[in-house]
Structure formats: C-alpha cells, structure tokens
Chain A
C-alpha cells in the first residue's frame, strides 16, 4: 500500500478523523482519550457494516486484528489499514514485525510499549485529543470530536551548543557528521545503531548532547531519548535519514527527486520498504549511480566532504544548533 488515507469513524456520540500515511502508526498518550473506543467502533463496523450504527469513511478497508489466531487472520488481509488494540501481546513479537515488513497493509497500533522490532517514524506517534462538541442531527445528542496530534513535535528550541554529538549509525552518515563537527572541535561518536543511542547518551560524561538519528525509524527510541531530558540537556536532530538530507540539499537534481520529497507516501510501497529510510537510501543510490556523487551506505564518497557539497547538506540542519559550522 502507498499513499495517504483519511479515516473518519463516527457514531452519534463521537467522531474520530485522522490520516494514515505510513505503514506503521502508533497511538498512545493519556488514558481515557478514546483509543479503545476508536478500535471498538471499527470492529463493530467490520462486523455489521452500516447496521452497526457507525459510519466509516476511508478509501481502503479498515479491519481489526486481535487474538491468538492473528497470523492466520492476517494472511487473508491485503491492501487494508489494520488496527490493533493494546492488550494484544503479539505486537511486540518478532513474528508480527516480520508480518508487517512483508505486508501490503498499513498498521495502526495502540500501545505505550516501545516496539523495538518495528521501525516506525517519530512523526507517526500520536495521541488523541478530544476537541469539543457540536450538535448532530439529533439535537438531544452532541458529538465529541476527536483528532490525532503528534506526540513528538520537533519544534525549534533555544540555541544549543553541544559538548558531544551522538550519531545513530556507523556508516556514511557518521563519516559526514564526524568530519563536520571535527572542524569546530566538537567530538562525535557513533552509537552503533538506534538501539544503542539512549544508552550512549546516558553513559556519556557530557551534559549537553546532540543526537542525530534517522527519524523515519527512531520512533521506538523516542521515549528513552526524551526522558533523558530529566537530567541532561539533549537536543534531537531527527531528519528522515542522512540520505533524505542529501536529497533535500539540492545536490541531486531532477523533478522526480522533488516529487519524492514532497509526496513520499505516494512513492513508497509498504511491502518494498520497511521504513522510509530504506526508500531514501535506495533512491539516492539509484540517482547517483555512475556520477561523481555516487552514494554508498558503507563508506562515504569523499565528494560529499568537499566544501560546496558539505555546505549544501549542512544548510539543511536546524539553525538553533548554535554552532558556527
């Protein structure tokens, strides 16, 4: 499945309206905000259709996945948005992660547990906000309107000068940032994978730390990363991926590049790419093959460290990182 899909689910008491644009969406947040109510309504509609008293509007089927026979049930579901409520332990299993990876469905999962086997984006972790009432066609009943909001909002913060930079990966991205920050005397270390980022920050002796990680798959680590702010100054820079930064920098021309960056969900087939970072990597490799900017994940092409090229990529970094880079 690809594309962005709007979902409206409502009965006489409550309406949920939201969009799903990637293969994995997480719903969490405070208790009693309506997560189970939403999924219960979809389940009612799936059983009885309009006869349930529920209206559901979406251009693809919306279905529920639950119980011990989830694997068998999922084998019959294609091209759908699959909703899973908390209380289903299989969501943290490797079997479920593999099923999602090889699937042509989108998944909306209600859980507070960090699903470390699933590469979901920081921007696809939502809470539900109840935004007030208005009258339905039955005056004695007023409907509560509920919408999704991003839990991790990357708003610009005050100028920040890090004592240490922690980069998620150990490949081309790390080589780039290591060189970039070495030019201003700021040490840069590799965490060796997103699963090690929080521990690397926790164990570092420095108190002001900039974390650079692939936002497209860093979702499971966000809770730890944001919680570290309880006792350290941690600034998160979470572009979709390093490859996305390169594509955004203007170094790689072409109308297809601009279109892919503007409307990635229309280009990324969920069955082919477990996360958007993999798409942007494959896209960049393909676009630069045979050119002086030929990109390879395992080792950074030195061309990207030339002043012009480095400057273009650096220009995509947030200005509140108050270092004269």
Chain B
C-alpha cells in the first residue's frame, strides 16, 4: 500500500541523494527489482554491485545514478523511513506503485506526480482518504500541497494596487473620450 503525505513534512528525508550516498549497501544493486528500475529509469545496466554501465555517462558507481533512482532504492530498501519523492520524475511513478504492491510505504510529495491513467490505491495521509485514480488524487493534492508551509502575504501578493510604482492620485481618472492624439506616435 502506498501512502502519500503532501506538503512540507519535517520528518521526511529531503536530500535523498546525500542520504543515499551515506547509507546504500552494495547488495541493494544485486536485487532483480533494483536492476529493472535502473534499466527503466536510467537506461543503465547493472554490471556488479559497485558498477553500472550508463548510456550517457559510461561506467559509473552507484552514487552517480539519477536522483530518482536513488530515491526509489531508498524507498524499496528502507520502507520504515519517509523520503521526499519529489526528487523522482513521472518516469518513477510506475516503480513507486510496484514497490507499494510488495510492501507498505509512505512517501512525501511536494508536487503532483502523475501515476498514470490506470486504477490504483493511494492513501492520502492529509485527508485519510484513498484515491483510486488521478481524477480522485489531483483535488486532494491541490488542497494540500501547501500544507506545512507558512504563507507570506507580502511575497505572494499579486494585488499590485498598493505598489507605489503604480499608484495614481485619486480623482485623476480623465473623462471618457476618444482622443485621436492618443493613437500612434510617441505623444503618449
């Protein structure tokens, strides 16, 4: 079962690349599912526990895998932890669902991941409800992506009426009339 917490979640591991670099085990890459994920997402082939052949980068160590694959490997091998899965692109979504078919996992998302057109079961921890499709998941995501974030009204101000650069003295609005001089040229 996949559970998602949308929004800011302090207990989630945010920088998954750094966490992976310090906790991964060689044996993680010897797993069939891990090899399939690396092949699918990174278009790379696992040659051994410490060596991968990357189509783009040549021969690389596990620490040079993509951020998305590192996060998938963390989710798969450490299901007791919660990881920031916004380090994963949509091309990782299938594999998150695949991992969740094998074990209960919880991820933190700060964006709307596309889990595809199929049916699924995802529990949204923000509401306690279970979504079975993107049509059900998207409204909950929209409502809760900002959970845990403080709103800074001054920064998010889109009402520019009080912006001094734009202020026009009250009563200065001219009468409505079409003035041909206003058209063309630089006389404005």
Give residues in A with beta carbon < 8 Å to B: 13-14, 28-37, 86-89, 92, 94, 97-98, 101, 111-114, 116-117, 130, 144, 168-171, 193-195, 198-199, 202, 214, 217, 223-224, 227-228, 230-231, 251-256, 278, 281-282, 285, 287-294, 296-299, 301-303, 306, 308
The chain B residue sitting closest to A195, CB to CB, is B156
B170 to chain A, nearest CB (A): 10
Cβ–Cβ contact B110 & A193, under 8 A: no
Q: For A292, what are the chain B residues with a Cβ–Cβ distance below 8 Å?
A: 174-179, 182
Known interface pairs A87-B67, A230-B134; A114-B110 also in contact (CB < 8 Å)? yes
B167 CB, min distance to chain A CBs, angstroms: 8
Known: A32-B68, A36-B67, A194-B158. A14 touches B89 (CB 8 A): no
Interface range, B side:
35 or more
CB-nearest residue of chain A relative to B17? A87
Q: Is the interface of A mostly helix, strand, loop or mixed?
A: loop
B20 to chain A, nearest CB (A): 11
Proximity string of chain B (133-158) to chain A, C-beta cutoff 8 Å, 1 when within and 0 when not: 11100110111011001101001101
3 shortest A-B CB distances, which residue pairs? A31-B68, A231-B135, A32-B66
Tell me if B18 counts as interface (CB < 8 A to partner A): yes
**Majority secondary structure, B binding face:** loop
State the B residues within 8 Å of A (CB): 8, 14-18, 41-43, 56-58, 66-69, 86-92, 110-112, 114, 133-135, 138-139, 141-143, 145-146, 149-150, 152, 155-156, 158-161, 163, 165-166, 168, 172-179, 182-188
A sample of 7 more A-B contacts (CB under 8 A), given A111-B86, A114-B111, A231-B138, is: A32-B91, A37-B57, A87-B16, A112-B111, A195-B156, A296-B166, A303-B178
A293 with B161: CB separation less than 8 A: no
How distant is A254 from chain B, measured CB to nearest CB, in Å?
A: 5
Contact indicator B174/A31 (Cβ below 8 Å): no
Q: Complex: how many Å from CA A254 to CA B187?
A: 8
